[in-house]
A and B are shown apart, each in its own frame.
Chain A
Amino acid sequence: MKYLKNVATLVYHPEKCVGCGMCVTVCPHRVFTEYNGKVQITDIDLCMECGACTTNCAFNAIEVHKGVGCAAAILIGMLTGEEPSCG
């Protein structure tokens, strides 16, 4: 299942990538595949911004605005002026 198009904040910096494949392992939606000794993003629209890849990239080759894709959390965030959180 895919969510909205062109909204994910995932950014990949191939020049920093050493091809360890950790992002390929941890991504729950298989956004990355190994390619030519590095990785490539196969479908950015599958990204749910969980942040597993960026947390586990020791070389800072991946950036993403990590968070919960939850309307209630965003609503609470809007009301309290804080980052969206499950409370």
Chain B
Amino acid sequence: MYGVQPANELIHRISVVRLAMVVTHRKVIVPQLGATGIAAHEIAKQTGFNVVFGPVRASDVKKFLTDGMVASEEMRTVKFTMLDRLVLTPMELVTALKPMLLAFGVLFILNAIGLGHYGGMDLVALLGAIVVGCVIVPVLLPWIPGRAFSWKGFLFGLLWAVVVVVQQGLSATSELSMIKMIAFLLILPALSSFLSLNFTGSSTYTSLSGVDSEMRIALPAILIASISGVILLLINDCIIAFG
């Protein structure tokens, strides 16, 4: 499943380097998060070495050793601070922007053939929804009401969509039709919701069962909203072009 089997690798290494002949003790320290792939009792059975699970973070190893190989509750707990989340956001953005470039290309082609009527504000609207899903929601994660990531993304995506619609509606130069307004209200929250849902992969506390259960509700809703939104945009384009 993950390429290298950690337990096999550890047993292999202990054997290859002849660890039992190099050291007199019979302890091997493994990072605590290695415990998902290493069964301490199996290692002991096969190598004679007792696994001691060290702290979660490498920065705590020194304290762990000076304390006599004892890790505090704090050292044993996985965190997900605002800084932890923030450093992950550039990666989220880059991953999201790649497929979005394709979408921008489609809008450009629609404009070029005279069917599309998309401008800078539409680009800002889409980019904003991406920033909401990839940066704002991850950074503000614990303070956004609700627990499902897709819900958090939907909520802030909807807020962004309302800002876009109100801003464009108030703008004198904008030609925001009712159809396009509804399309925005469908597409932008769906996009933010999907990108926020994707952040479950970067989080340190979501479970397979949890993500699976939220996806069963969120994915069909996201698909329906975005497909309906795109259809409405096309209808709007046709009305302007031929109507």
Contact = CB atoms under 8 A, between A and B. Distances in A.
Interface of A: 1-5, 7-9, 22, 25-30, 46-52, 55-56, 58, 65-75, 83-86
B32 A28 contact: yes
Given A25-B76, A26-B53, A69-B200, A84 B208 contact: yes
Interface residues of B, number: 40
B36 A4 contact: no
Contacts of A73: 201
Interface of B: 1-2, 32-33, 35-41, 53, 56, 73, 76-78, 80, 141-142, 147-149, 197-198, 200-201, 203-215
Given A3-B206, A8-B207, A70-B200, A28 B41 contact: no
A41 B219 CA distance: 32
B36 A9 contact: no
Contacts of A49: 207-209
A69 B36 contact: no
9 closest A-B pairs by beta carbon, nearest first, are A67-B208, A69-B206, A70-B201, A26-B35, A52-B35, A28-B78, A58-B41, A49-B207, A4-B210
B205 A2 contact: yes
Given A71-B197, A72-B201, A74-B215, A28 B76 contact: yes
